Chains A and B, each alone.
Chain A
Amino acid sequence: MDPAIDAAASGEARRARSRRRLATLGLASAPVGYLALFFLIPVLMVAAYSVGMLTLLPQDDYLSLQPWRDLLFGSIYLDVFWRSVWMALVVSVVSVVLAYPVAYFLALVAGLRKYTLLLVIIAPFLTSYLLRVLALRVILQEDGVVNSFLRTVGILGPDEAVGWLFNSRFAVYLVLAYVWVPFVALPIFVSLESLDHALLEASNDLGASRWRTFWTITFPLSLPGVIAAFIFVFIPTIGEYVTPLLVGGPGNFMFGNAIQGAFLQGLDWQFGSAMSMFLVFAVVVLIVLFGRYLNVRTVTE
């Protein structure tokens, strides 16, 4: 063929590709630009605040690492941080363990009704969280529904009550699991739903029991969804403070409570910023470690 036409044709293709790349950049620039302005910059400002590059209150020290020193050396806050990590771990494991059968049920057992049933477990989210916690208090407290029932049935004496249902670590775990299980069931449901039934049937035909099929085929294939679900609960829960505040009682002071307290009770913004950045760095480390599973495509596969 004529080299001139060749050159013209490939030049045409190159320009088309460049246009496509520009279009890609243009498309990406809206959400990315938005997040850069309203997410990245605020986070950078908090970082700057934590080292005194930015000050607002008269008691703030300009350019000081004291808040970081207070946080990292010989303080209770690191213990509180690990306690929060442990809480997040327990809540995540419990939520995933409870959500898996729900997702399995919806994806593989519920049949045609699955989406409606999925909606049924998501619908409680439409009620305000605070009101649901208030209602849970009514159920769990010493003179609440559970204890009254136990007394009526005779398991408890007339003056006895199970005190650890509320104002306790158990209550924190219960309420957080209550809030998270429906959410956590979703990605697991999605990954189970796209499972090819032919695989299961093939395994069956080859003589494997249902349990064996589950452990060797179903579960491993659903693992990306499970891990993603775990991370989606785990990371935000480290900074959780509302639930420990409302239902935790003494001994349930979490890192999120410390951050909130520094800003909203102590007017101790620099220290609060240092704690916040510490949490952000910890979370970044976790993302880097588990980053592959957080990739958007893996989550949805």
Chain B
Amino acid sequence: MRSELDALLRSPMERRTLLRYMGYSAALGGAGILAACRRAVTQPGGASPVVRPPIGEEPGVLRIYEWNGYQAKWFWREYARQGLEDPKFAFFTNTEQAIAKTAGGYTWDLSHPETEYIQDYVNLGLIQPWDTSLISNFADLNPVLERAGQLDGKQYDIVLDWGYSGVIIRTDHVDPSVNSYSYLFDDKLEGHISWFDTPWILLQAGLVLGIESSIWDMTPGDLETCKNYCIEKTKNLHSLWVEPTQMWDDVGQGNVWAAYAWPDAFVVLKEEAPVQYIRPKEGVLSWAEGLVLHTESENYRHAHEYAEAWASVDVGQRLVSVWGFGHANLGIDLSLIDPEVVEVFGLDDPEGSLSEPSSLIGRYLPNRAAYNRAWDEVKAA
């Protein structure tokens, strides 16, 4: 091999060719890095007043970045009835992944994040406010939810579906009257508790411990306290669920007696096992998600039509009874819904149930990285 190298270097033609190739690759690499450094500066999302073309002149096919499941036609039947073209759907696994990919350059017209991520999107200049006057049924939507979708007085997120992140318990092993997130940290239930893999467990610990600072913006000291409390309580865990069927199975079979759960767990399990859904007295953490509009979307009016279709009463009716998720439209006919479900959701008083202090709708986490690292430590324990 040495002789090959010598021969190669000695021959002038080969040496030049080799050096040329090395030069190309160095230039390519250098150019790549320089280009990346320059282009990676984010443009601030400036919304200068734009004259919107009429709906007929927009490109027409909405690109929607969604949770898998929401592409079902019954969500946007009204939209299709108007003769508008079918939207195209792409799916993400969770909202953080959606943000990561969008920040990395992926574009869409509409997406479906929870309210706590609106600020992240706005910080990156990726979404623009809606014009609620273009949505005829906007007034029918729950004002508490819609306020959660606002930032600086502008409606960035049309909140359309919501749910609780409460606790589901087996009444044959657990006393429902305690009515607290402490179920998830109860030493008496050792080996029969299941948490969802989310930093929100830290928030729930904060509620149980009664920390001073806001759970959405904890001081480092409070975060440390919650983290240590959670680490201490991991010994009680049966499992850390990532997808709900696993948790439903475990609760249904009696392996888990208290689990972090959304109300759909109750809807699925209520006929199969003695369960109750708890909205804890400290306030139930709630998630509210809805449609956001990308800054660079060219389908402005189509997007508003889509939101309007989604916001209709029929969609809400079906969402609550079949899926076990809440809907923002206040006009839902409660008599058509299972009374147990009405009770679990507090649908008889939708505005009251979702207001504080009974309900704590998800809010932006300014220290998300710190929360995530604390949660990492809990999981690593």
Contacts and interface: CB of A to CB of B under 8 A. Distances in A.
Nearest to A60: B40
Interface stretch (B27-35, B107-115, B284-292): B27-35
A89 to B, nearest CB: 19
Contact of B372 (A37, A56, A266): A266
A261 B97 CA distance: 10
B94 A264 contact: yes
Nearest to A268: B369
Contacts of B375: 261, 265
Nearest to A263: B100
B36 A45 contact: yes
Given A250-B237, A266-B372, A56 B104 contact: yes
Given A76-B377, A267-B369, A249 B239 contact: yes
A141 B25 contact: no
Interface in B63-120: 94, 96-97, 99-100, 103-104, 120
A5 interface: no
Contacts of A141: 249-250, 255
A18 B14 contact: yes
B372 A251 contact: no
A25 B240 CA distance: 53
A54 B237 CA distance: 40
B13 interface: yes
Contacts of B28: 36-37, 41
A57 B124 contact: yes
Contacts of A269: 100
A56 B42 contact: yes
A142 interface: yes
Contacts of B377: 76
Contacts of B372: 261-262, 265-266, 268
Most buried by B among A79, A137, A142, A257: A142
A161 B191 CA distance: 13
Interface in B328-381: 368-369, 371-373, 375-377, 379-381
A65 to B, nearest CB: 16
B136 interface: no
B21 A251 contact: no
B199 interface: yes
B376 A261 contact: yes
A163 B32 CA distance: 52
Contact of B376 (A14, A76, A251): A76
Contacts of B99: 267
Contacts of A262: 372
Interface in B213-239: 234, 237-239
Given A249-B237, A266-B372, A58 B25 contact: no
Q: How large is the interface on B (under 10, 10 to 19, 20 to 34, 35 or more residues)?
A: 35 or more
Given A29-B21, A250-B379, A264-B94, A45 B238 contact: no
Contacts of B42: 56-58
Nearest to B245: A134
A21 B369 contact: no
B209 interface: no
Contacts of B376: 76-77, 80, 253, 258, 261
Nearest to B11: A18
Contacts of B8: 21
Nearest to B236: A250
Contact of B373 (A33, A58, A137, A266): A266
B47 interface: no
Contacts, number: 125
Interface string A265-276: 111110100000
A137 B246 CA distance: 9
A219 B380 CA distance: 39
A22 B123 contact: no
A271 B369 CA distance: 9
A202 interface: no
B368 A80 contact: no
Contacts of A77: 376
Contacts of A45: 32-33, 36
A76 B380 contact: yes
Interface string B119-132: 01001100000000
A253 B376 CA distance: 8
Contacts of B238: 167, 249
Interface string A116-155: 0000000000000000000001000111000000000000
Interface string B173-205: 000000000000000000100000101000000
A25 B21 contact: yes
Interface string B1-25: 0000000100101100110010001
A161 B99 CA distance: 42
Contacts of A55: 40-41
Which of A21, A45, A266, A271 has the most chain B CB atoms inside 10 A of its CB? A266
B171 interface: no
A36 B40 contact: no
A250 B240 contact: yes
A41 B373 contact: no
A80 B96 contact: no
A142 B239 contact: no
A48 B42 CA distance: 17
Contacts of B197: 245
A280 interface: no
Interface string A170-205: 000000000000000000000000000000000000
Lowest 5 CB-CB distances: which A-B pairs, in order? A266-B372, A253-B379, A268-B369, A250-B237, A167-B239
29 contacts: A21-B8, A22-B17, A36-B29, A41-B28, A48-B33, A48-B37, A53-B33, A54-B36, A56-B42, A56-B104, A59-B123, A59-B369, A76-B376, A79-B380, A80-B380, A141-B255, A142-B253, A142-B255, A143-B255, A249-B240, A250-B379, A253-B380, A257-B379, A258-B376, A258-B380, A261-B372, A264-B97, A268-B372, A271-B369
Given A21-B14, A54-B33, A249-B237, 14 more contacts: A18-B13, A22-B17, A25-B21, A55-B41, A56-B103, A58-B124, A80-B380, A161-B255, A249-B240, A251-B234, A258-B376, A261-B375, A264-B100, A269-B100
